[in-house]
C-alpha cells in the first residue's frame, strides 16, 4: 500500500534538517561557546560572531521544538477526534 503524501512528509521532516546539523555542529558549538564567553566578558563582537556561527544549529532546534513537535501533537489530537466521531 503506497504512503500518502502527508505520511511521507511526516516521515521525511526530521531528516530534512539533518544535513544542517551534520555540517554545522562544530561551528554551532564554537558559536555557543563564543556567545557564552562574550556574555561573561561583556564583549559585544564575541556575541555577534557566536550568533553568526550558531545560527544554523539554533534554527534547527527552533524548527524541531516550536514547529515540528507541536504539529505532531496537534495532528495526533485531530486524528483522535476524527476517529471518535
Structural domain boundaries of the chain?
A: 20-84
* pTM > 0.75: no
Please give the residue that has the higher pLDDT: either 70 or 1: 70
Closest CA to 20 of 52, 54, 68, 43: 54
Select the more confidently predicted residue: 2 or 46: 46
Instruction: For residues 9 and 42, give the distance between their C-alpha atoms in angstroms, rounded to a whole number.
Output: 44
Interior/surface letters 42-73, b for 16+ CB within 10 angstroms, e for the rest: eeeebbebbeebbebbbebeebeeeebeeeee
pLDDT digits (tens, 9 = 90+) for 30-79: 999 999 999 999 999 999 999 999 998 888 788 778 877 787 788 777 77
Amino acid at each position: 500500500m503506497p504512503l500518502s503524501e502527508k505520511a511521507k512528509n511526516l516521515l521525511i521532516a526530521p531528516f530534512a534538517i539533518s544535513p544542517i546539523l551534520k555540517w554545522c555542529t562544530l561551528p554551532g558549538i564554537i558559536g555557543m561557546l563564543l556567545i557564552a564567553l562574550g556574555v561573561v566578558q561583556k564583549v559585544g563582537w564575541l556575541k555577534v560572531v557566536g550568533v553568526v556561527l550558531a545560527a544554523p544549529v539554533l534554527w534547527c532546534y527552533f524548527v524541531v521544538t516550536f514547529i515540528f513537535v507541536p504539529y505532531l501533537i496537534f495532528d495526533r489530537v485531530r486524528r483522535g477526534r476524527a476517529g471518535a466521531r
